[in-house]
Amino acid sequence: MARLVLKFGGTSVADIERIERAADKVEREYRLGHEVAVVVSAMAGVTNQLVDYCRSIDPVHDAREYDAVVSSGEQVTAGLMALALQKRGVPARSWQGWQLPIICDEVHGKSRILEIPPTEVDARFKSEEVLVLAGFQGITRQNRIATLGRGGSDTSAVALAAALHADRCDIYTDVDGIYTTDPRIVPEARRIAKISYDEMLELASLGAKVLQNRSVEMAMKNNISVQVLSSFEDKIGSDYPGTLVTNEENIMENPVISGVAFTQNEAKVSILNIPDVPGVAAKIFAPISAANIIVDMIVQDISEDGNVTSITFVVPQEDADKAETVLKELDLLKTSEIRVNKNVAKISVVGIGMRTHAGVAEKMFKTLADKGINIDVIAATEIKISVLIAKDYTELAVRSLHAAYDLDQAPA
């Protein structure tokens, strides 16, 4: 017998028929003798609709009332799920964030969970009754409802799993797991059976938008294994049909590379001819950070003559023009040239096996060179190597790297 938290995303509770199918899965786990809690999202499209309602009254609306409105979608599905379970003879009770309670901070619209008081949740969690929690929402210490940011019900589920010391948190969604790369680009992409928290965080931040990043951070902190699986298949979580995001120690055979990620929504900013004196980098990045622009892949050239240098970095595409504007206002850069290139893609290979294997970077560069793809910028962490290339070569690069690291082949 295990203790499980099952979370159903918007497409998995999109209508009554889908809610009934989700309830079937909950029932199967329950009948296997597991202790079960369920977390639900709003029906697909409902949250968007609620957000639009707020915006149509006033584009700059009060965030507390926004939360009062958008949290309502989950209230409906939690009640419906409890009804569907009761119809199956499974005792069930719905709970909203404030009732459990899920205590969160005052940052309305993007609130973070502060705590789930253990004695209260223990009092509400009964082994013979399925606890159905409305995801995405909690209550602030000011007694106001707050929501956890878009996609936040993943985080609700992991937080509940941590509070209940659950054995596993299953996230039912519309894909059957995490893939070695985007299958729309590489048909040979394979589902990954197990992946570490660190790798998942690197892949997620690169656009594999299956789990809210915060939920992975929370799972890592609390050592909760999270399984991503499809609610459209007949299998249930206890069959392990999906991708398990888990502690490195639970992964026996580490492939050197687990996945190839890419993003095309960034831009390269280059500043040429910068006077090479102490403090320039700090001066350049001060207004960028003041403008709340997130920077990645920073490269500064060695200045050959000791007089001028150049700096290149990457920013989200939507912030590129803002970055250019604030840099142009800097006295220091009066004689410099600022170039912005939005026609770029960032390709990354990610894998914890990199820590113990030599030659991973070399293989990446050689593979791209063989295809005649020029590398603009390189950045690396312990488990990720990223390169910036011209956008037109994205597919070719991803496909070639996927093959070069043998990701097309099932692991031996």
Residue 20-39 contact track with ligand ASP, rule CB under 6 A, x = bound: --------------------
| Cα angle 130-131-136, degrees, rounded to a multiple of 5 | 140
Pick from 12, 153, 254, 309: which binds ligand ASP (CB under 6 A)? 153
Tell me the torsion sign for CA atoms 180, 182, 187, 193: positive
Pick from 54, 67, 73, 145: which binds ligand ASP (CB under 6 A)? 73
| Cα angle 286-291-295, degrees, rounded to a multiple of 5 | 70
> Order of strands, edge to edge, in the sheet holding 377-381?
259-263, 344-350, 384-390, 377-381
313 binds, among Mg ion, ligand ASP, none (CB under 5 to 8 A by kind): none
Ranges within 303-342 binding ligand ASP (CB under 6 A) = none
Q: Does 64 bind ligand ASP (CB under 6 A)?
A: no
> Dihedral of the CA atoms 375, 383, 396, 173 (nearest 10)?
-140
Q: Does 138 bind ligand ASP (CB under 6 A)?
A: no
Pick from 97, 152, 177, 351: which binds ligand ASP (CB under 6 A)? 152
Pick from 66, 95, 125, 136: which binds ligand ASP (CB under 6 A)? 136
Q: How far apart are the first and last CA of the chain?
A: 31
CB of 71 to ligand ASP, least distance (A): 9
CB of 400 to Mg ion, least distance (A): 31
Whether residue 310 contacts residue 270, with contact meaning beta carbons closer than 8 Å, is answered with yes
Place of tokens 């969970």: 113
Whether residue 6 contacts residue 29, with contact meaning beta carbons closer than 8 Å, is answered with yes
β partners of residue 217: none
Q: Which two tokens stand for residue 360?
A: 């991973």
CB of 42 to ligand ASP, least distance (A): 4
CB of 153 to ligand ASP, least distance (A): 3
Whether residue 142 contacts residue 159, with contact meaning beta carbons closer than 8 Å, is answered with no
CB of 214 to Mg ion, least distance (A): 12
Residue number with CB closer to ligand ASP (157 or 404): 157
Q: Does 151 bind Mg ion (CB under 5 A)?
A: yes
Pick from 22, 42, 131, 297: which binds ligand ASP (CB under 6 A)? 42
138 binds, among Mg ion, ligand ASP, none (CB under 5 to 8 A by kind): none
Ranges within 175-194 binding ligand ASP (CB under 6 A) = none
For strands 308-316 and 337-341, give the pairing: unpaired
| Cα angle 192-201-294, degrees, rounded to a multiple of 5 | 140
Residue 59: CB partners within 8 Å, gap ≥ 6?
none
97 binds, among ligand ASP, Mg ion, none (CB under 5 to 8 A by kind): none
Q: Does 151 bind ligand ASP (CB under 6 A)?
A: yes
Q: Does 71 bind ligand ASP (CB under 6 A)?
A: no
How far CA 154 is from CA of 88, 186, 323, in Å, comes to 26, 27, 32
Distance (Å, whole) CA 54 – CA 60: 9
Q: Which two tokens stand for residue 240?
A: 């392990």
Pick from 4, 14, 28, 47: which binds ligand ASP (CB under 6 A)? 47
Residue number with CB closer to ligand ASP (74 or 266): 74
Smallest Cα–Cα separation from 104: which of 135, 62, 74? Answer: 135
Ranges within 5-44 binding Mg ion (CB under 5 A) = 9
Q: Does 135 bind Mg ion (CB under 5 A)?
A: no
Pick from 10, 138, 237, 242: which binds ligand ASP (CB under 6 A)? 10
Which residues form the interface with Mg ion (CB under 5 A)?
A: 9, 151
Interface ranges with ligand ASP (CB under 6 A): 9-10, 41-42, 47, 73, 135-136, 150-154
